[in-house]
Structure 1
Amino acid sequence: MFGKSLGDDSDDEVHIDLSPMIDCIFILLIFFIVSTVFVEETGVKVNKPDVGAAASALDSNSILLAVTKDDKVFYGGESIGIQGIIGKVKPLLAETPDMPVIIQGDKEASHGMVQRVHGQVMLAGAQKDKISVSTK
């Protein structure tokens, strides 16, 4: 008797429609998938030097160069050498001039080679470059 209106003698069960809630969940899922930032990797395993608590940030829109322990320079998994840096970096910087260039130097790579890569990046017209390190 309680909770029923006086003229309602029907024994119909109340059903909750879950379709709108499921639609909202799927819309949120699609939003998060589309808005996820994907980070491009260099394609070469580089053993970065440890720096303690220093923060290293990889920008999603950045040019990643890797210097291996045998002083080879890679871009996108392809060996480009020191001579190929300007040819690869300059066209990318022409599209986005403020795009940062991140140099991932192996901790066993010679310091001179990493500096030569830095010099070539500056000659290509980079306004920002970063040296990537491990924070473990």
Structure 2
Amino acid sequence: MRLNQKSQKRARIEIIPLIDCMFLLLVFFIYSMLSMTVHRGIQVNLPASQTGQIERRDYISISITEDERIFLNKQEMSLSTLLDNLKARTEEDPDQPVFINADQTVRYQMIIDVLDKVRTAGLRSVSLATRENPDAP
């Protein structure tokens, strides 16, 4: 008497769900890398610009808050002591770029005073930080 043997299927690994998981991980890591930014200054509300570019290099960050306090790489100082600190940094690297992060409500004269101190210290590469304008065409 012969019994009906059921055909046994070999066990196999379904690869399509694995590919889905890999793509999800890839998207997650790409998104997390794009959201990483390095900012050494104090958080200020930047004005908007349509032609801004991101610089990737060691730099000096000068932040001016809305109440006109000055920070040099997160260290608060007065306008009079800013020049001495900038001169010390100029001796380390005279070609080091300077980024000024000024709140959009800061008086224009305050920004000019800071720019004068930067130029007097001998630093020539100066940039004003802006944020992207969401209303730009």
TM-score under structure 1 length normalisation: 0.65
Paired letter, 2:109: G
Give the Cα–Cα distance (whole angstroms) in 1 for the partners of residues 124 and 100 of structure 2: 14
| Aligned residues of 1:56 and 1:132 also touching (Cα < 8 A) | no
**RMSD between aligned alpha carbons?**
1.6
| Aligned residues of 2:65 and 2:106 also touching (Cα < 8 A) | yes
Aligned to 2:120: 123
Percent sequence identity is: 22
Aligned to 1:17: none
User: Once superposed, which parts of structure 1, at least 4 consecutive aligned residues long, lie more than 2 Å away?
Assistant: 56-60
Change (3 A) 1:123 1:105: same
Paired letter, 1:113: M
Give the Cα–Cα distance (whole angstroms) in 2 for the partners of residues 59 and 103 of structure 1: 15
Gaps of 5+ in 2: 1-36
Deviation per CA, 1:75-127: give whole Å up to 9, x if none.
12221111121121111111111111111110011111011000000011102
TM-score under structure 2 length normalisation: 0.65
Aligned to 1:56: 53
Paired letter, 1:124: A
| Aligned residues of 1:102 and 1:132 also touching (Cα < 8 A) | yes
| Aligned residues of 1:56 and 1:134 also touching (Cα < 8 A) | no
| Number of aligned residues | 97
Aligned to 1:41: 40
Aligned to 1:87: 84
Change (3 A) 1:85 1:133: same
Give the Cα–Cα distance (whole angstroms) in 1 for the partners of residues 55 and 116 of structure 2: 20
Gaps of 5+ in 1: 1-37
SS for the counterpart of 2:81 is: helix
Shift of 1:41: 1.0
| Aligned residues of 1:48 and 1:134 also touching (Cα < 8 A) | yes
Shift of 1:59: 3.8
